[in-house]
Structure 1
């Protein structure tokens, strides 16, 4: 049986930060042998059927998701769940039911939290990790992929996150987001239009995820500047 991490890749999921130093496998014929580089799991609960991609037998997508999130950190687990929901490889109910079938195995409680928190509207690993950070900061759940319109109802932008209580927009800038100068200029003009409507815009990068204190301070300053959200008609 192929590793759970490799199965996710073959199923087309974007994954990041999974610990690949030790390969996790499900053995259909017993516990197998585990060592420094390989960890073989008994197929409990039983796997009803395998999936074949090309000529390779892989763990079915929902099972691969659950097996992977059982052995990783909560933020990474959320990014895997988000990607699975976005790709429609599984539903939240399917993942919850499958996690519960693992009983008291280590990681089940965190996996249940990650699945319950999952949201397929997150369009990248960075956005998934940002959702986790915003929750850790104690903020109300943001609206992912929120549509901003002007006062006449004309479309202005679709933003990564909207903190609707304060008219604060959070944009996550991953690497390579702006391929050329024209794209960068267009993004600056787009952001100007958003600010002209009264929104505060806070940009975040990967470094903010690993050192969140400065980001949290910038975000709270934006919230204070924005004040309570205004009704927009």
Structure 2
């Protein structure tokens, strides 16, 4: 005999994740909550489907468990804010949930609980969800990231619009003055090398490679104009005296047709204005760092090209 279709859930339970307690109050039978059409993403929570493939969906699934004073933090809030994370953490499905002391950290499978010292401006709402602020998230990540990875996140924080960038820089500077933060030495080391204007982790890694090899620090995402004052291009890393630009090219420069064609036109326009372009990829940084530094150093040493 074929199994009967599961009975319909009452509204609004049919719209998204809900708690078992909420369902029972709505009159849903206990046995209905164990039917195969309902996923169990966290203890005491049911969802219409298994789809928790991204951080937002996993947070939505956790919301029925979230209590007053609790909020999403660490790598979870970093992903919600769109901050870059290393692959080993970006693919981790764990939901990080914090609470301010003296509240007790949560303990449930699929989530990691944290108890934090109360601080002004620590929590904010993001699309209706309580999350750690971007700067607080950066501080929390010091317990999980290397110095260079923290620099990548810090650069991303300062890549926003001018007003938000200045606000974030002031908050980050204040944060590293405190002695009661976990891994404060790591935060201070990373803050010393954070720079505004960087637009991708690849650009951060390229800048750090060059500076640590002893080359001068380049300007970041600087606008270049022709001899008549007309805009030519905005370039990733710029050595103006040598008329040298270094472009970090992620895969989208190759796979996106429009970007690929625009890159060709831009390089031609830069060459017309006697600028040299060096293109650097992820493989150049990971597999050929010394060669990459040598290529750029030799162009710096040779000085600007002759005008056409």
- Could you tell me the TM-score, scaled by structure 2's length? 0.63
Evaluate the alpha carbon distance shift between residue 102 and residue 25 of structure 1 in structure 2; reply closer, same or farther with a 3 A threshold.
Answer: farther
Q: Secondary structure at the match of 1:117?
A: coil
Q: CA deviation at 1:30?
A: 5.3
Task: Flag the structure with larger Rg.
Answer: 2
Give the corresponding residue for 2:86: 17
More contact order relative to length (CA 8 Å, sep ≥ 6): 1
Q: 1:99 aligns with which of 169, 176, 179?
A: 176
Give the corresponding residue for 1:82: 155
Q: 2:268 aligns with which of 188, 192, 200?
A: 192
Q: Secondary structure at the match of 2:234?
A: strand
Give the corresponding residue for 1:161: 237
Q: Secondary structure at the match of 1:100?
A: coil
Give the corresponding residue for 1:140: 216
Q: Secondary structure at the match of 2:151?
A: helix
Separation in 1 of the partners of 2:84 and 2:249? 17
Matched, 1:64 2:137: yes
Give the corresponding residue for 2:283: 207
Separation in 2 of the partners of 1:217 and 1:34? 51
Separation in 2 of the partners of 1:178 and 1:168? 22
> Could you give the per-residue CA deviations for residues 107-145 of structure 1, whole angstroms, max 9, x where no partner exists?
x22312322322231112211222222221222221111
Q: 1:2 aligns with which of 68, 72, 88?
A: 72
Evaluate the alpha carbon distance shift between residue 30 and residue 180 of structure 1 in structure 2; reply closer, same or farther with a 3 A threshold.
Answer: closer
Gaps in structure 1 of 5+ consecutive residues: none
Matched, 1:151 2:227: yes
> Could you give the per-residue CA deviations for residues 153-205 of structure 1, whole angstroms, max 9, x where no partner exists?
22221111112242211001012135554542332232122123222211111
Give the corresponding residue for 1:26: 98
Q: Secondary structure at the match of 2:72?
A: coil
Separation in 2 of the partners of 1:127 and 1:104? 28
Separation in 1 of the partners of 2:147 and 2:169? 16
Evaluate the alpha carbon distance shift between residue 112 and residue 192 of structure 1 in structure 2; reply closer, same or farther with a 3 A threshold.
Answer: same
Separation in 2 of the partners of 1:174 and 1:58? 30
Give the corresponding residue for 1:220: 297
Q: Secondary structure at the match of 1:160?
A: strand
Q: Kindly report the root-mean-square deviation, in angstroms, between the aligned alpha carbons of the 2 structures.
A: 3.0
Gaps in structure 2 of 5+ consecutive residues: 1-70
For the 8 Å contact 1:83–1:124, the answer to whether it is kept is: yes
Separation in 1 of the partners of 2:78 and 2:214? 31
Evaluate the alpha carbon distance shift between residue 84 and residue 186 of structure 1 in structure 2; reply closer, same or farther with a 3 A threshold.
Answer: closer
Q: How many residues align?
A: 226
Evaluate the alpha carbon distance shift between residue 190 and residue 61 of structure 1 in structure 2; reply closer, same or farther with a 3 A threshold.
Answer: closer
Q: Secondary structure at the match of 1:171?
A: strand
Separation in 2 of the partners of 1:148 and 1:128? 20
